[in-house]
Structure 1
Amino acid sequence: MTTGPGRPRRGEHELLPVTGGVPRADPHFTGREAALERIHDFLGSRPGARFLISGGNGVGKSRIAAEYAYRHAREYDLIWWIPAATDIETHRAYLRLAEHLGLPVSYEHVPRTVQSVRRELSERADLGSWLLVFDDVVDAQALASEYFPHSGGHIIVTSRHHRWLPRGQGGQRFDGQVVPRLTTAESLSLLRRICPERLEPPGDGERLAELLEHLPLALSQVGAFLRESAMPTGDFLDLFEERYDAMLWQMGAEDDHTAPLRVAWSIQAEHMLEGADERERETGRVALELVRLCAFFAPLPLSRGLFHRTDGAVLDRALEYMRRHDLAFFDDRNDAFQLHELFQSVVRDSLTMAERVHHRNLAHLVLADNAPEGPTDPAHRAAYLSLYTHVKASHAWTSRDPRVRAMVLNVVDFLTEVGNYSDATSLLGQAVNVWLDDPSMLLHARLRRNKIRRIHGEYVTALEEARSIHAEQVERAGPDSDETLEALRAVAISLSGLARFQEAGQLFRDILEQRRERHSAADRRTLEAAHDYGQALQEQGRFEEALAMDQSTLAGRRALLGPDDVQTLRTGLSLGLNLILLGRLDEARKQLTECMERFETAAEPDSPHALQGMLFLSVAHRRLGDPERALELANRALVRYRRKHPSTVRQVLYCRVIRMVSLVRAGSLDEALREVDDLMPPLDERYPAEHPFPAAARLSMGIVLRAAGRHTEALERDQEGLERLLRIYGPGSFSTLPAALNVATDLHRLGRFREAGDLEAMTEADCRHRLPADHPILLTARRNHLVSRHAGGEDVSEEWDRLRAEFAERFGGEHPGTVSMSSFTRQDCDVFPVAPL
């Protein structure tokens, strides 16, 4: 036999494979030899084989898969267990596998990580032979198309469904077997392993197996109960039959398959409250409560630490009781345990309505008590993935407890941070429908949903919704309450997204003034409002005012939050951006470099703010004449953005536009031209026509097209960009100045010298009016105008030499802009899109 393409069986002397998440071996496993042999024969007969183990709930599908993994471990180099009941569980397993394989792990864009793992397993020969086990699959065809590696290795799937036999979708080959319940002989073998002394007189074992309908889960639990209990087997059988007949009258046909486990549990639960002494009774009572509580969590491994508020010694005894009675699977390596999903369902159904409400609420409080602080902190992402699964399973949004509702909002913040907007929106929808009794929590849920609309670029809808929320909040709490101001902030942000910067700026100013009246200048909320207003000033092109505001806000945030807090660093980035726009490039580089170093120290190098800062720093290096360093930074940012997002979301488009100009400066013209062709459709799809970013992007495309000698196309892009910016900001505004200069350059290259000179003369005058004498845009305006005058026959040699000296003093003699002044050559005005994403 071979275990993979051309790979021989591993020798007995070789090391065991890396195994990830495989459940512990079941010491009571018995039977199923024919199924194990069939799996082995099929997987070994062909590379890339896939085998489906299907059957009803509780028949032991997962046990068979785990047993196969242990028996044939030496035939593989890697075995990885992937819980697949939900996408969340599958994603967690893939993230761990990616980490093991040395691949980038991105919680922000898990599908990209999944695809990286698929490629790695398909293409990397040095990984050797591998086995993936997808456990508890709902839709094997969908799973195959989204998660299976394209070739190589072996895959086992367990599922309650068998409609995919014998062939899966897309050429994925499945063989498989529907696993029946145990035979009488197998049932007796299992019971003999668990409770050999309780099968007398002859016939009791057969009777017990028949009553439990040969269901392995029920046999294991009842066998363990009989082993630990003083109840005679015959008495148990008589009581079981009596209750079974009574239960069938109460159950629907669809529940018949759970009847044996339900009856057995009803007997076990009663006996858990009995004991020889108070200590035993307490242990049984705590174990019973623990089982009932855990029935409301997701069917995932539960850490012992989750129940840290329970007395440690009592908890230890209760867990040992559950282990002896086979009520859970225990993972001692990770100090965790897990209830079977079918058993959880049976336990929940055994409770009265009042008991269900009590235990569900208790489960919610346990989750809230264990939720980490900082849902956007990368260190807590694995914990929040598990937490979200439990929130969904327990319907935590139905809780009335404010601690639980705050936890739900934290989960939403986590999902939003990692880009899982659909699940975040779904969870918010549930909360909004239920939290009508708590206007404050309802407001925060609605504002989070509004934020996701803005992230998706739905600014018109977001603005309408935000105004409605704000109006309701004014009516409820008045115009000056903190929560009313939060709603007004959502209105202002939506206006910014629609490029209505004057209206947004006025609202941000109003919010800041009201925050100052209600709180001190050093209050967190006041500083947030100051940061927002600084960005509004920046959006309006009022960079000196924006810089002053950012400097004040940065000092306040450093004092209150510390220099490494993400909010402090956000203001530091904004300050660095203002320095770039004001032409203070050395200061900008120093400021942005410090911010990026602090992001690295704070373990936030891949956060959205850190990546934006990397792009700001790239532009600073580009303008300082270091195109190679600028491109290196832009490339790093793009790689990290693409781990999180597809290529056409706003953040990645922003990165690609900035990188495109760096490609030209670094001599990679062909790649830059490909970006010009690819960027226009998603830009116009993602942004409204009145938004400044697609206008600025057109100017960047003009730089690329000019470098390629395509001057007519460059003029078309630059004129369109200039016209849009004039409509947004008005004539003479800062954002229109580089656009006008680049249009003039296009005209000059096309031989339209008079038009170019007239436009440059007017733009130079605007630059002198708005900018300091050494601002790079003003220097470029003077330079290009001199070139046009020279082309018109004027002698401008002395002026040119003086300007060249100014360039050398401003940028240094080695700067490309200075070096290129050895002759009368024009210079592109480097465009930097500063509009909000």
Structure 2
Amino acid sequence: MTDPAATSATAAGPRSIAAGSIGTAITGDVITGNVILSADALASARDTPAPPGTNNLGPRPLCVGREDELAWLQRVLTADGGSAVTPVPVVHGLGGIGKTTLALYYAHCRRDDHILIWWINAESPARLEQSLAALAARLAPTWAAHAADQERITWALNWLHWHPGWLLVLDNAEDPRDLHPYLGSLTGGHLLITTRRATGWPRAVVTRALGTLAPDEAAALLCDHALHGAPPTPRQLLDARALAADLGHLPLALDQAGAYLAQNRTISIGAYRRKLAGKLDRAAEGTDAERTIARVWTQTLSALTTRAPLAIEVLHTLAWLAPDDIPVTLLRHLDDEDDSLAEALGALSSYSMIALTPETVSIHRLLQTVLRTAPGHPGRAHAEHALTTAFDALTEPPDHLPAPAPDPAWDALIPHLIALAAGTPPGHRDAPAIEHYDTAARYLHRRRHNARTIALREALLAHRERTLGSAHPSTLTGRDDLAYAHEVAGDIQRAIPLYESTLAQREQVLGDTHPETLRSRSHLAYAYRRAGDLERAVALFETTLAQREQVLGSTHPHTLRSRGDLAYAYRAAGDHERAVALFETTLTQHEQLFGETHPETLNSRTDLAYAYRRAGDLERAIALHETILAQREQVLGDMHPDTLATRSDLAYAYRRAGDLERAIALHESTLAQREQVLGSTHPHTLNSRTDLAFAYQTAGDLQGAIALFETTLTQHEQLFGDTYPDTLTSRNHLAYAYEVAGDYERAIALYESTLAQREQVLGDTHPDTLTSRRYLAQARAKRDKRRPRP
């Protein structure tokens, strides 16, 4: 039975993560959980009120025919089922179906019901974090002006924790996994999610598919646009019904067709329908929605070509940038006269081709897709020129760590540079933009947003391979950087071949012991370890450590990191004797170099304590954990997350040593403190609840243990879904508690469901699947042994 070890561990490498009993680790660029605010900043998050009416909503849209969906949102978001986890509505559907319109309209209707409504771009973890940082800047502008991004994000999350009654709209979520950290920790308010994804959501959400409009509502939307609210004649209504059917009752297409009719009042609905029917489908290879939008766009384009030719150039330029918050200043190079540009933007807005504010332009993603298929337009060249000119005018941030302070000018332009790089056609040469791709990638790296650099680094690598060759040092660095970007984005299978290629070429060009070769070897070893290939990881870590000791010396920081990396790999592979020896050496060197209470020394001491415990030397493990706890309480305070982690470590060691009285007392106090500091459903709190349940079970309090295991399983299911690894582990824990209590029928039922799900998710031969199969067999054997013989 897997018994979660409540531990605190530290990885020594610069691109490492170590975990004891954190349960769910947020790796890569999402480091919010590791950012500790000052006492003043925490007090500010607690004490700062939201001014009445605080929101960042756009204009209230026209929303027709969605009464049932609006009523459903209201029911879900006002339901009080007594659960620890508030239900989260997820509205899903294809592009152009009106998900954003529905959510925005609902948010406007309920503005008086919430202390704050905040619209969040959830397209990626980085964009989501940017929206949270903007919330901190709105509520605490003076403090936020001098705070790093992750500090602002942490401040915003703390503010949300302290101030119930808010509504966050997470718009355009691409991957449910991106939201798991927030679904679990954001309580006290409400979340509303829009997405194209129908599946993969945890049980804490309630999904609703958004379909096309009903025929009557679709016709009403067209008439409302085209006739400016005047009642339609029977003929107009008949034509509107026919046109709506031609457009598949797709809200975006209806909106744009209606906008065209509103701007060309001499054209009847029927005449527009006949014009539309004769237009060439410009997106024949796209989806049905794209083909429909292409037909409407072709007709609108014809009108704009005559009325506002500059608008055509603007539109095609916008197609190659990020869809949201495009600075109007980026478009000024298209025409020297600001009045002409303003007129072109006004024309596009009037035709519902864009959403316009005084400073920014936004365009629908589906419309961008359609525009990019149109041949013969220099829109990409215009976008590239605009961004190159804009970046040329900026002052480059300092190229060193620690991370520079947020730069609003850079932050406003980088999403559009990323979009330009991501949309690079095959064989296209972005020579003018290449240096800005490099500068922006380095800026994002210093801000710890490496996952956002993938498109930039791919374009950079292609350029360097083409101009410098595959083995040039700059090319090798670019390949290594791209591998790391994939790694922090969670795509280890893409990262490993890039690391392998880079290492092979550096060995060939630079030699075995060149610093860059050693760096590549360390990166590849860590990637192997992360992928579970411990045999190859250990071999590479051993080679790297030996070479660094030879070249740099025994106490060089890089050597210390290599020693820690190798010790961690030994421990992961079950070689506790060698792991302990290396951790002891590393701790002695940290103490000599940094002192007894330096954070690096405390982390090293924690690594050694955990290694002792894993090796079965509980006496020495407990002594070290007690020392670490006293030092962290003195240096960091009683409620610091690291202090709580150490307290959990010590409680677990007490339990393993059979000192249940002290173990239970410490587990109970740690759980209470984590509930207070982190909330009831934070992953660390869930781990503390599991630890306490195991302690109760060991002490013979099966009723108390089962109650805690049941609560924890319910919360895992609600937060992460039925098949998430932590949920499956939690289900296994409860099954084992039932088995210990002699309730074999409930234990077997849980073991069977866990086994089926692990077979489906992990495969037949995964170690966790084998564990489930073994425990199911044991429970069945015990049950059968108790049954009376016939």
Question: In the alignment, which residue of structure 2 is the partner of 1:646?
Answer: none
Are the structure 2 counterparts of residues 191 and 444 from structure 1 closer, same or farther at C-alpha, using a change threshold of 3 Å? same
Q: Does 1:415 align with 2:444?
A: yes
**What are the superposed Cα offsets for residues 438-476 of structure 1, whole Å, 9 maximum, x if unpaired?**
2299754433555788999x99997864575679xxxxx
Distance apart, 1:211 and its partner CA: 1.7
The counterpart of 2:198, out of the listed 137, 147, 162, is 162
The counterpart of 2:121, out of the listed 83, 88, 98, is 83
User: Do the aligned residues in 2 keep the contact of 1:16 with 1:73 (CA within 8 Å)?
Assistant: no
Distance apart, 1:58 and its partner CA: 0.9
Aligned residue for 1:213, secondary structure, equals coil
Which whole-Å CA distance do the structure 1 matches of 2:106 and 2:317 have between them? 32
Distance apart, 1:192 and its partner CA: 3.1
Question: In the alignment, which residue of structure 1 is the partner of 2:697?
Answer: none
Are the structure 2 counterparts of residues 265 and 145 from structure 1 closer, same or farther at C-alpha, using a change threshold of 3 Å? same
Distance apart, 1:72 and its partner CA: 0.6
Question: In the alignment, which residue of structure 1 is the partner of 2:432?
Answer: 403
User: Do the aligned residues in 2 keep the contact of 1:398 with 1:434 (CA within 8 Å)?
Assistant: no
Question: In the alignment, which residue of structure 1 is the partner of 2:259?
Answer: 224
Superposition pairs of residues 719-758 of structure 1, within 5 angstroms: none
Are the structure 2 counterparts of residues 64 and 100 from structure 1 closer, same or farther at C-alpha, using a change threshold of 3 Å? same
User: Do the aligned residues in 2 keep the contact of 1:240 with 1:264 (CA within 8 Å)?
Assistant: yes
User: Do the aligned residues in 1 keep the contact of 2:594 with 2:601 (CA within 8 Å)?
Assistant: no
The counterpart of 1:251, out of the listed 272, 284, 301, is 284
User: Do the aligned residues in 2 keep the contact of 1:398 with 1:431 (CA within 8 Å)?
Assistant: no
Question: In the alignment, which residue of structure 2 is the partner of 1:72?
Answer: 110
Distance apart, 1:225 and its partner CA: 1.0
Q: Does 1:678 align with 2:629?
A: no
Which amino acid in structure 2 is aligned with residue 368 of structure 1? T
Q: Does 1:321 align with 2:347?
A: yes
Aligned residue for 1:136, secondary structure, equals strand
Larger Rg: 1
Question: In the alignment, which residue of structure 1 is the partner of 2:223?
Answer: 192
Q: Does 1:180 align with 2:211?
A: yes
Aligned residue for 1:195, secondary structure, equals helix
Which amino acid in structure 2 is aligned with residue 62 of structure 1? T
Distance apart, 1:237 and its partner CA: 1.3
Question: In the alignment, which residue of structure 1 is the partner of 2:239?
Answer: 204
Distance apart, 1:118 and its partner CA: 4.2
Question: In the alignment, which residue of structure 2 is the partner of 1:382?
Answer: 411
Question: In the alignment, which residue of structure 2 is the partner of 1:824?
Answer: none
Are the structure 2 counterparts of residues 402 and 429 from structure 1 closer, same or farther at C-alpha, using a change threshold of 3 Å? closer
Question: In the alignment, which residue of structure 2 is the partner of 1:49?
Answer: 87
Structure 1 residue ranges without an equivalent (≥5): 1-13, 276-283, 472-487, 500-537, 542-652, 666-670, 684-700, 709-837
Which whole-Å CA distance do the structure 1 matches of 2:178 and 2:149 have between them? 17
Are the structure 2 counterparts of residues 151 and 422 from structure 1 closer, same or farther at C-alpha, using a change threshold of 3 Å? closer
User: Do the aligned residues in 2 keep the contact of 1:269 with 1:288 (CA within 8 Å)?
Assistant: yes
| Larger deviation, residues 397-406 vs 219-228 | 397-406
| Larger deviation, residues 190-199 vs 135-144 | 190-199
Q: Does 1:92 align with 2:130?
A: yes
Superposition pairs of residues 423-822 of structure 1, within 5 angstroms: 423-424=452-453, 427-439=456-468, 444-449=474-479, 465-466=505-506, 657=590, 661=594, 674-679=602-607
Aligned residue for 1:56, secondary structure, equals coil
User: Do the aligned residues in 2 keep the contact of 1:453 with 1:461 (CA within 8 Å)?
Assistant: no
Aligned residue for 2:185, secondary structure, equals coil
Superposition pairs of residues 83-122 of structure 1, within 5 angstroms: 83-100=121-138, 117-118=156-157, 120-121=159-160
RMSD, aligned CA: 4.8
User: Do the aligned residues in 2 keep the contact of 1:272 with 1:285 (CA within 8 Å)?
Assistant: yes
TM-score by length of 2: 0.52
Which whole-Å CA distance do the structure 2 matches of 1:540 and 1:453 have between them? 28
**Identity over aligned residues, as a percent?**
18
**What are the superposed Cα offsets for residues 203-243 of structure 1, whole Å, 9 maximum, x if unpaired?**
22222222222211111111111121243433221122233
Distance apart, 1:491 and its partner CA: 5.1
Aligned residue for 1:42, secondary structure, equals helix
Which amino acid in structure 1 is aligned with residue 360 of structure 2? A
Distance apart, 1:141 and its partner CA: 5.0
User: Do the aligned residues in 1 keep the contact of 2:170 with 2:191 (CA within 8 Å)?
Assistant: yes
Which amino acid in structure 1 is aligned with residue 477 of structure 2? L
Distance apart, 1:340 and its partner CA: 0.5
Aligned residue for 1:177, secondary structure, equals strand
Structure 2 residue ranges without an equivalent (≥5): 1-49, 488-495, 523-550, 555-585, 612-623, 632-790
Which amino acid in structure 1 is aligned with residue 284 of structure 2? M
Which whole-Å CA distance do the structure 2 matches of 1:425 and 1:89 have between them? 14
User: Do the aligned residues in 2 keep the contact of 1:184 with 1:209 (CA within 8 Å)?
Assistant: yes
Are the structure 2 counterparts of residues 454 and 464 from structure 1 closer, same or farther at C-alpha, using a change threshold of 3 Å? farther
Which whole-Å CA distance do the structure 2 matches of 1:68 and 1:539 have between them? 62
Are the structure 2 counterparts of residues 260 and 408 from structure 1 closer, same or farther at C-alpha, using a change threshold of 3 Å? same
Which whole-Å CA distance do the structure 2 matches of 1:160 and 1:452 have between them? 28
Which amino acid in structure 1 is aligned with residue 476 of structure 2? R
User: Do the aligned residues in 1 keep the contact of 2:480 with 2:520 (CA within 8 Å)?
Assistant: no
The counterpart of 2:320, out of the listed 264, 283, 296, is 296
Which amino acid in structure 2 is aligned with residue 262 of structure 1? A
Which whole-Å CA distance do the structure 1 matches of 2:121 and 2:223 have between them? 31
Aligned residue for 1:274, secondary structure, equals helix
Which whole-Å CA distance do the structure 2 matches of 1:300 and 1:58 have between them? 15
Are the structure 2 counterparts of residues 678 and 60 from structure 1 closer, same or farther at C-alpha, using a change threshold of 3 Å? same
Q: Does 1:341 align with 2:361?
A: no
**What are the superposed Cα offsets for residues 799-836 of structure 1, whole Å, 9 maximum, x if unpaired?**
xxxxxxxxxxxxxxxxxxxxxxxxxxxxxxxxxxxxxx
The counterpart of 1:368, out of the listed 388, 399, 408, is 388
User: Do the aligned residues in 2 keep the contact of 1:450 with 1:465 (CA within 8 Å)?
Assistant: no
TM-score by length of 1: 0.50
Aligned residue for 2:353, secondary structure, equals coil
By relative contact order (CA 8 Å, sep 6+), the higher-ranking structure is: 2
The counterpart of 1:274, out of the listed 286, 306, 321, is 306
Aligned residue for 1:158, secondary structure, equals strand
